Amino acid sequence: MDYGTDFLLQDDDIVFTPDGDVELVSGPACVAQDIGQHLKLTPGTLIWDTRAGSSMLLFLNDAGIDYNAVIAELERAAIADPRVDPATVKAARVSGGKCRLEFTPLQAVKPEVLDYDLLKGASDV
């Protein structure tokens, strides 16, 4: 299956190879990066795709975080991606303000994992 290819991002910055070329990401890792970026956008941010984005940023550093809403939003974002097997999507609170999203792209062998620390921001694992 073609999952697509994109620029590799680390901390929302493009990664370059030692010789100055742009590093690329493809395969299941591209799916994970795309979902992670989708979760960092608020709806309406991209004028060319007003449907892109999620409500995840609204949960950051909120004293009264509704973890059921966070889990639902994480799962919604993964299930909405047509490259993801919806039967494999699961999100859970793992500790403190941390939540984990696991999903397996279609025809992939192993799951992808995205961790979110809602008290400090999001980080991909």
The pLDDT assigned to 44 comes to: 83
pTM of the predicted model as reported, rounded to 2 decimal places: 0.87
Domains and CATH numbers, the chain: 5-124 (3.10.450.40)
CA 53 to chain centre: 11
For the stretch 2-59, pLDDT in tens is 999 999 999 889 999 999 999 999 999 999 999 999 999 888 888 888 888 888 887 8
End-to-end CA separation in angstroms for the chain:
23
CB atoms within 10 A of CB 56: 22
Two tokens at 58? 């609204």
Q: What angle do CA 90, 91, 97 make, to 5 degrees?
A: 170
Q: Do 112 and 30 touch, CB atoms closer than 8 A?
A: no
